[in-house]
Structure 1
């Protein structure tokens, strides 16, 4: 969703409210693909502060479909989105901030709400996505999902630096 700022920038100390909508549904993050299943309804408020600053605010929640980091099963999780941005405007256009550089959510005389939402999703994205807190993951030996059924494989992890000692001990077992 793109909102033209041309009309609001000519009205100092005024606000306009828009009903928000989202056009993106899929995105990639750290090599994984995700889908936005649902986004709660929201209102975008554009407010002019004096005649030189535009304030953009809205709050919503996104329901996102991804994969569990341990068992690779599908999992749906919520990410809060809270946008509170202030940009400088001049002659109906957003002025680029020298410290920040060009804004990714500005396209000439339009504010790209989808880009703002995606930026906030990525900032608030969980570090690890799990289907449940005690997810057992996939067995490294046989590849079964240990949440569905136990596999009985030996999952003892040996220190690779001690592997040569293990070979020595195993050779003594063979002699007996």
Structure 2
């Protein structure tokens, strides 16, 4: 969704409200693909502060589907989205910030709401996505999902620095 700021920037100390929608359906983050199932309905409020600053605010929540970090099954989770941006405007256009450069959510005389939503999703993204708090993950030996069935594999992870001691121990085992 894009919103033209041309009309509002010519009116100092004015507000305009728009009903927002999210047009993003898929995105990638840290090498994984995610799907936005839905976003809660929201209203975007554009407010001019004097004649030189534009304030953009809205709040919503996005329901996202991705893979569990341990067992790779699909998981749905909610991410809060709270946008509160103030940008400088001049002659109906957003002025790039001197320190960070042009804004990713500005396209000429339009504000790209989807880009604001995606930025907030990435900022509020969970550090670890789990299907359940006690997810057992995938067996590193046979590859079975240990939440579904127990495989009985020896999955003891030994310190690689101790591998030579294990070799010595195995060579002196009594063979029957």
TM-score category (smaller protein): over 0.9
In structure 2, what is the equivalent of residue 46 of structure 1?
46
Structure 2 CA distance, aligned partners of 1:113 and 1:72? 31
Q: SS of 1:132's equivalent?
A: coil
**How many residues are treated as equivalent by the alignment?**
176
Please give the residue correspondences for 1:1-176 in structure 2 after superposition, counting only pairs within 5 Å: 1-174=1-174
Misfit runs of 4+, over 6 Å: none
Q: SS of 2:118's equivalent?
A: helix
Structure 1 CA distance, aligned partners of 2:168 and 2:174? 10
Kindly provide the CA deviation profile for residues 120-162 of structure 1, in whole angstroms up to 9, marking residues without a partner as x: 0001111110001000000011111000011111111111111
What is the Cα-based RMSD across aligned positions, in Å?
1.0
Structure 2 CA distance, aligned partners of 1:172 and 1:93? 78
TM-score normalised by structure 1 residue count: 0.97
Structure 1 CA distance, aligned partners of 2:97 and 2:158? 54
Q: CA deviation at 1:29?
A: 0.3
Worse overlay, 116-125 or 159-168 = 159-168
Worse overlay, 158-167 or 89-98 = 158-167
Q: Mark the runs of 5 or more structure 2 residues left unpaired by the alignment.
A: none
Structure 1 CA distance, aligned partners of 2:66 and 2:52? 41
Q: SS of 2:28's equivalent?
A: strand
